[in-house]
Amino acid sequence: MMNIFSEVGRYILFMRYVFKRPERGRVFWNMLLREMNLMGVDSLVVVILIAIITGAVTTVQTASQLASDSGILPPSLFPMAIVGSVVGSSSVLELAPTITCLVLAGKIGANIASEIGNMRVSEQIDAYEVMGINSVGFVSFPKILAGVLVIPCLIVISNFLLIFGGLIAAKLTGIMTMDEYVTGLRSSFVPLYAKVLMVKSYVFAFIITSLSCFQGYYTIGGALEVGEAGTKAVTKICVTILLFDLIIAKLLL
Amino acid sequence: MIQLVELNKFFEEKHVLKNINANFLPGVANLVIGASGGGKSVLVKTMVGLEKPSSGQVLFEGQDYHNLEYQEQQTLRREIGMLFQGTALFDSLTVEQNVEFPLLMFSNMSKEERMDRVNLCLSRVNLINANKKTPAEISGGMKKRVGIARAIALNIKYLFCDEPNSGLDPLTSRVIDTLLHDITKEFGITTIINSHDMKTVKDIGEHIVFIHQGQKWWEGSKDDLIEAQKSNPELDAFVKASF
């Protein structure tokens, strides 16, 4: 238990140094663009694939549970349009922000932790310090800001593709008409859900990038520990995301 | 001049640096020598600010480095260059970009001026036609030279070198030693070299500090070393074992 408090304390101290004014605006800007490209463009394909497949699976499974021959529910209790409603709501509230961020934790989080961990063990971070550069801010701030700018965009894209994936699955499997799906989708739209989606997006983006920077920065040892830093970062990010998922849901819904 | 005043460093219970008082003379190559595990690297890291001393002072021209305000400390750090044991080159940057990096961060030079300075520093360390290569594409000796070029890119006053010859063959080691000696004289900088290589001491050492089991055992000029060996068995054993 003391370990958790000590870790949280170290994280807060770390964050104090992240948001100091960058030494050189131009260098910071170049690093920010590079990070946005790495996080955004390079993650787009995996986000698209995951979103479409998850949307399709959710549609097929929800329809299966509502189908009259499933044995779970009495025949014809619900109209099939409700599938669109369930997919729409769960995409906005849970699947798009949480599933996408858990995937991005594995991709972006592990990548950042390993990169900074490698810089730490090869003394590159010490080199920044000796030059008089605030190494915490220099290596972490562009990554955190890039994540907070780019990951919410990925989540919004993911949300649309989840719904689109559901639509494709509905059409290809013939479990309902497109009209039924869209009707259900429209009936379930609540503007508050969009706010929840955006709040989760920004909070999760911050968790992914800041925790991975923190984990990488305090790597001690060699190649083995760099690998471990990536794994530890992903584990911590996943647990923290799920914890904040619950907190945000409880506070906003 | 850099002075160490009653410098102590503990890692939890372990007393790594024990009450060290020493002077590092300006404009010469100062060598910190001693066996591996004796505290040399910790001493150098404490001097450049990578480790905080448990007690005592590191004085740069009379200023207590570890008690300076953050901004003053950062300003002083820009007068310090360091060659790391593993070179610590930025592996995502080319040789040219590595040397340009401190200029980009701390000078107001135009791109052309920066490139002129980069080429000057690289030619000074006898490294030509390697500008566009990445650290992964060059040899250990070349990496050390890039490290030196990066360290001197800004007009530094102090150059710290942590085991500059580690991992190098004897011939390349001598080249690096000569380079460090020449740069010290040419730029009039205070160089502190951490080494256990007695050949380095013989070739370029001017002021020597011998560290043994975390304590300063002996300090003096190279010329006094032979005389000191007679009355200092630990120093004598270290010197003899090194040849």
List CB contacts (< 8 A) between B50 and chain A: 126, 129-130
- Measure A35 CA to nearest chain B CA, in Å: 13
CA pair distance A235, A208, nearest whole angstrom: 11
Whether A2 maps to a domain, the answer reads no
Q: What confidence score (pLDDT) does residue A11 get? A: 94
Convert the pLDDT of each residue in B208-232 to its tens digit.
999 988 899 889 888 888 888 888 8
Q: Which helix (H) or strand (E) holds B9?
A: strand B2-11
CA pair distance B192, B28, nearest whole angstrom: 8
Mark B148-172 as b/e (b = at least 16 C-beta within 10 Å). Answer: bbbbbbbebbbbbbbbbbeebeeeb
Hey, is A30 helix, strand or coil? helix
Question: Binning pLDDT at 50, 70 and 90, where does residue B13 land?
Answer: confident
Question: Binning pLDDT at 50, 70 and 90, where does residue B169 land?
Answer: confident
CA pair distance A189, A193, nearest whole angstrom: 8
List CB contacts (< 8 A) between B105 and chain A: 23-24, 27, 131, 133
Q: Which of residues 114-143 of A touch B (CB under 8 A)?
A: 122-124, 126-127, 129-134
Q: What is the pTM of this model?
A: 0.88
Mean pLDDT of chain B: 90
Q: Which among B156, B199, B158 is positioned nearest to B178, based on CA atoms?
A: B199
Whether A146 maps to a domain, the answer reads yes
Whether A133 maps to a domain, the answer reads yes
- Decide: A63 and A156 in contact? Cβ < 8 Å: no
Q: What confidence score (pLDDT) does residue A69 get? A: 61
Q: What confidence score (pLDDT) does residue B82 get? A: 92
Residue ranges of chain A with per-residue pLDDT less than 70: 1, 68-77
Domains and CATH numbers, chain B: 2-79+156-242 (3.40.50.300), 89-155 (no CATH)
**A131 contacts B78? CB cut-off 8 A:** yes
List CB contacts (< 8 A) between A130 and chain B: 48-50, 77, 80-82, 160
CA pair distance A133, B85, nearest whole angstrom: 20
Q: What confidence score (pLDDT) does residue A236 get? A: 95
Tell me what percent of the residues of chain B surpass a pLDDT of 70. Answer: 100
Q: What confidence score (pLDDT) does residue A217 get? A: 96
Q: What confidence score (pLDDT) does residue B224 get? A: 87
**A122 contacts B86? CB cut-off 8 A:** yes
- Decide: B32 and B195 in contact? Cβ < 8 Å: yes
* Number of domains observed in the structure of chain A: 1
User: What is the residue range of A155's domain?
Assistant: 52-252
Task: Using CA coordinates, name the residue in chain B closest to A121.
Answer: B88
Convert the pLDDT of each residue in B63-90 to its tens digit.
999 999 988 888 888 899 999 988 899 9
Quick one: average pLDDT of B197-202? Answer: 84
Q: Are strands B55-60 and B2-11 parallel, antiparallel or unpaired?
A: antiparallel
**A23 contacts B84? CB cut-off 8 A:** no
Q: From residue B78, how far is each of A37, B72, B179 by CA, in Å? A: 31, 10, 22
Q: Are strands B55-60 and B63-64 parallel, antiparallel or unpaired?
A: antiparallel
Reported ipTM: the value is 0.88
**A131 contacts B90? CB cut-off 8 A:** no
Whether A39 maps to a domain, the answer reads no
Mutate to test the interface with A, among B41, B47, B50 (most CBs of A within 10 A): B50
List CB contacts (< 8 A) between B80 and chain A: 130, 132
Q: From residue A214, how far is each of A34, A93, A114, A188, A237 by CA, in Å? A: 20, 28, 11, 40, 11
